[in-house]
Structure 1
Amino acid sequence: MDFKRNIEKYVELILKVGLNIQKGDGIFVLVNEHSIGMVREVTKQAYKMGAKDVVYDFSDDEMTLARYAYGDESIFKEMPKFKIDYMEAAYKNNYHRLAIVADNPELLKNADAKKVSEWNKTRAIASKPIMKYTMENHVKWCVAAHPTPAWAKSVFPELPEEQALTKLWEKVFDATRVSMDDPVAAWKEHDAALKKHQNFLNEMAFEKLLYKGPGTDLEVYLTEGHRWVGGSGKSTRGDVFMANIPTEEVFSMPHAFKVNGTLKATKPLAARGRIINDFHFTFKDGKVIDFDAKEGKDVLQSLLDSDEGARRLGEVALVADDSPISNTGVLFKNTLFDENASCHFAIGNAYSENIKGGAEFSDEDKKKIGMNNSIIHVDFMVGGPELSVIGVKKDGTQVQILKNGNWAI
């Protein structure tokens, strides 16, 4: 594996397909100590493409742990307003968001749980004014990943750290199509394939979906006028971009008040520096009325308690079980990858692109049509080889969408 060349190809893919950088664009990059080398390559290529500026939001694992270990409890109850103002000013001045995810999925396993929970809620509430810029596509945005030693050891615990890291990089390059000769061309072809599923589902205009699988028996109504979206999206300025690299999903908007039944997760969820495992929900009239988890129940509880909308669904996404990521046979313990290996839902905020005019809706408008509103958006995986999804039209016609976890359309 020519690692240096693959990083160059990966960055080119992120900038050309992910952010679709145009002359005069600015980039706001989330970076940590593990991804600095890759972000240097991002910076170099971005300026070559005509970017006007690249700015950085830096974090560090040891610094994060020090804050939770030694910071006074009071500092987790308020987020300085200037940080939000700074980010909002950037978005208003043609800066676009690139998140290079370089995580340790269990970084906060031994951190003060009260401080972690308090800070996550504080940050989510404070960030609501800028959340709309990505959730409503006012800016272009892209999430991509950078393997770390801790993440690699979590995925491949049987291997020495260096071998685990090399293997994880190989899997990431395969999943993102970087290992192909021309990743940019491969992604254009992949985007076209996702659009075919998107267009079919939009033509069907299903009223509701029926999910059945081990531990899952769920009825999910879709909002009136919902849109399915797969692959590339468009900013409110009309610029095409790819929000996730990789992506294998076609997603839409569930009705926040019309979901009933039981739903069991099929993969662990890495959230807030912890792992949530073997968990399930019971929904009534759209709301989670019961839940449990064998591991990380307290983290799941804190997510659900974020606000009223956190107990309702904001996204429904279909992914074939034989997707390239699923076929790696790897449990990535990273939502960006695991959600694209499996059908999934998200609790919390809905995406405005999943309904016509969504970016202009007031909170009252959203409530009327069943568009969920929340300070969080957290994906969790429900797909697998035994999952069946049936679409039901308004006249009662049923269409098998997924059978044995794979596309039936």
Structure 2
Amino acid sequence: MDPRVREHAEIIANHSTGIEAGDNVVIQLPKEAEDLAVALHEICGDRGAKPVYLNYSKRSDRAFKRAADGFSEPGHRRALYEETDVFVIARGGLNVTEDADVDPETNAAYNRAMEEVKRERLSKTWCLTQYPTSGHAQLAGMSTEAYEDFVWDAVSLDWEAQREFQAGMVDILNDAEELRIRSGEETDLTMNLAGNTALNDQGEANLPGGEVFTAPVRDGVEGEVHFDLPLYRYGREIDGVRLRFEDGEVVSHAAERNEDLLTGILDTDEGSRHLGELGIGMNRQIDRFTYNMLFDEKMGDTVHMAVGSAYPDTVGEENELNESAEHVDMIVDMSEDSVIEVDGEVVQRNGTFVFEDGF
């Protein structure tokens, strides 16, 4: 076994989740990540935790979605999560386009049926990570060996130092009333942040981490945004997304590629036309775009916004929580001709923060 796999498992167990004696642990990984499953099971055995291993298969998910005549909540799966203390899931697989031929309306219906199950899972201690496989390496345009180095270098960051670096942006956002993002000629978006909380992603729920994120006030987003980096969703690339917001709601949208998939996402439910998250990428160890949102949204010189559900911990008691069966992140490159303003003051210019040298 590659020693970096064991290090990955130890970071998950020690830093990201804090697995301890008596914990009920669900480990959901693709078959290609069996070595990581073995390492996590050894840790659970050493500590007296109780693991359950689920093999995640996109092929199986695709087959079910295409064959089923409608969906209902799987109560037995929700029951498992209700009894779970720690949930670990890793992305991976040999074919990242496995579910590309599932109809967008089918995906939306499935997500609606799974909404309460997902909410139960997210209420527990959880960690989403990546296992480096050839499918994702190919998507990133990298050799398998180079992609392994990329993933494990990002996972094994000095997370305490990263937390301290990001703390300056947390403080800025927690004092903010209004944030404005301007980039190029097509993005000029303002959002109300009053009363909501910014969180410091230091490699816990997401591994790798490396962002500061919060939620806009549900009806407090105005303007237009061009997401100039693509995203991969349900095995298909959505590129050139443009959204226009009024009173917090997407009132018009377009995409240069796979607009039907974007439309299906936005039509999932009422909450999928509102922003649930604003994130600011601050992990400069992630220095290239790889078509993997777990990494891409953390890149320095970027911001991302997610249509759909908000994380409850980011929403103040006086503000409405945006709820949705979807949560889809999209990225704006902020490295050129771009600024972030907070209450009229520029806090980032062309990717450089106000508390950094060279601002």
Same fold (TM over 0.5): yes
Unpaired stretches in structure 2, ≥5 consecutive residues: none
For 1:176-255, what aligned pairs fall within 5 Å after superposition?
176-177=155-156, 186-202=158-174, 205-214=175-184, 215-222=186-193, 224-232=194-202, 242-255=204-217
The residue type equivalent to 2:44 in the other structure is A
Question: 1:353: Cα distance to partner?
Answer: 0.6
For 1:274-353, what aligned pairs fall within 5 Å after superposition?
274-320=236-282, 323-325=284-286, 327=287, 330-341=288-299, 342-353=302-313
The residue type equivalent to 2:54 in the other structure is D
For 1:261-276, what aligned pairs fall within 5 Å after superposition?
261-276=223-238
8 Å CA contact 2:196, 2:316 repeated in 1: yes
Question: 1:371: Cα distance to partner?
Answer: 2.9
Provide TM-score, normalisation by structure 1.
0.80
1-structure distance, mates of 2:225, 2:155: 29
Q: Is 2:164 the partner of 1:171?
A: no
The residue type equivalent to 1:43 in the other structure is H
Q: Percent identity?
A: 24
Seen in structure 2, the aligned counterparts of structure 1 residues 76 and 187 have a Cα distance that, compared at 3 Å, is farther
Question: 1:10: Cα distance to partner?
Answer: 0.8
The residue type equivalent to 2:10 in the other structure is E
What is the DSSP-based 3-state SS (H/G/I as helix, E as strand, rest coil) of the residue aligned with 1:323? Answer: coil
Seen in structure 2, the aligned counterparts of structure 1 residues 294 and 283 have a Cα distance that, compared at 3 Å, is same
Question: 1:212: Cα distance to partner?
Answer: 0.4
Question: 1:8: Cα distance to partner?
Answer: 0.7
* Residue of structure 2 equivalent to 1:237: none
2-structure distance, mates of 1:65, 1:93: 27
Alignment partner for residue 78 of structure 1, among 61, 71, 84? Answer: 71
Question: 1:283: Cα distance to partner?
Answer: 1.1
Seen in structure 2, the aligned counterparts of structure 1 residues 94 and 154 have a Cα distance that, compared at 3 Å, is closer
Q: Is 2:353 the partner of 1:391?
A: no
What is the DSSP-based 3-state SS (H/G/I as helix, E as strand, rest coil) of the residue aligned with 2:256? Answer: strand
1:291-324, Cα deviation, whole Å (9 max, x unpaired): 111112111111001011101100111124x722
8 Å CA contact 2:201, 2:213 repeated in 1: no
2-structure distance, mates of 1:130, 1:217: 36
Q: Is 2:127 the partner of 1:142?
A: yes
* Residue of structure 2 equivalent to 1:60: 57
8 Å CA contact 1:254, 1:371 repeated in 2: no
Unpaired stretches in structure 1, ≥5 consecutive residues: 178-182, 233-240, 358-364, 393-397
Seen in structure 2, the aligned counterparts of structure 1 residues 67 and 371 have a Cα distance that, compared at 3 Å, is closer
2-structure distance, mates of 1:14, 1:308: 35
What is the DSSP-based 3-state SS (H/G/I as helix, E as strand, rest coil) of the residue aligned with 2:206? Answer: coil
Question: 1:76: Cα distance to partner?
Answer: 4.6
8 Å CA contact 2:306, 2:327 repeated in 1: yes
CA RMSD of aligned residues (A): 2.2
The residue type equivalent to 1:95 in the other structure is D
* Residue of structure 2 equivalent to 1:395: none
Q: Is 2:89 the partner of 1:102?
A: no
Provide TM-score, normalisation by structure 2.
0.90
8 Å CA contact 1:107, 1:274 repeated in 2: no
8 Å CA contact 2:196, 2:217 repeated in 1: no
Higher helix share: 1
* Residue of structure 1 equivalent to 2:346: 400
8 Å CA contact 1:148, 1:165 repeated in 2: yes
The farther-off stretch of 97-106 and 210-219 is 97-106
Aligned length: 350
